[in-house]
Amino acid sequence: MTTRNMTARVQRTFALAGAIGCALAFAACAGATPPPVSPVAAGLSCVDDSASCRSHREAALDALLADKKRDWVHQPPTASAYASGVRLFAFKKRKGELSCAELAVGEREARTARPTLRAANAQLTPAQIARGAMLGDEVGNELARERRRRCKA
């Protein structure tokens, strides 16, 4: 076998292997459905004022408020979560039930809303940034008052 024939044979083998690999990948993807998005994730990332987004945010808020262990308190928020207001409203609604440590986490999160939203300005409208920042300031103040009232320094 000549070098030219061997090179052609190797190229055909790699081409065939590549085609089989692509076919397998497409076959695997064709039957796969995307993983379901949790109601909380859908609500936290939905920031426009459409009826669909409002219902996603309501469902997310209901899910957070129903979480008796409040696991969501210690999960890091995204800029979209600040803009949606869901987590901040949950902190606001549950402030009387939160432990001192959870109040501190909520206050810190609320105080971080404004700079986080400003840093994400390419993804959000100025109105979304302003609303999220004002809500963060308001909730941060409420949580600070609640913490001063109930918790020792």
At 47-76, the pLDDT tens digits run 888 898 889 889 889 999 999 999 999 998
Same domain, yes or no: 53 and 8:
no
Query: CA 153 to CA 151: how far, in whole Å?
Result: 6
Question: H or E element: which one contains 18?
Answer: helix 3-31
Same domain, yes or no: 65 and 127:
yes
The domain of 75 spans 39-150
Within 10 A of 118 (CB to CB), how many other CB atoms are there? Answer: 13
Same domain, yes or no: 26 and 69:
no
**In the prediction, which pLDDT does 13 show?**
43
Query: CA 120 to CA 79: how far, in whole Å?
Result: 6
**Per-residue pLDDT tens for 4-13?**
554 545 344 4
CA angle at 54 for the pair 90 and 115, rounded to the nearest 5°: 55
Same domain, yes or no: 10 and 80:
no
**In the prediction, which pLDDT does 153 show?**
59
pLDDT more than 70, % of the chain = 72
Q: What is this structure's pTM?
A: 0.72
**Backbone phi, then psi, for 131, in 5-degree steps?**
-65, -45
Same domain, yes or no: 29 and 71:
no
pLDDT tens string for the chain (153 positions)? 555 554 545 344 434 344 444 333 444 444 444 444 566 777 778 888 889 888 988 988 999 999 999 999 999 888 888 888 999 999 999 999 999 999 999 999 999 999 988 888 767 888 888 999 999 999 999 999 999 999 975
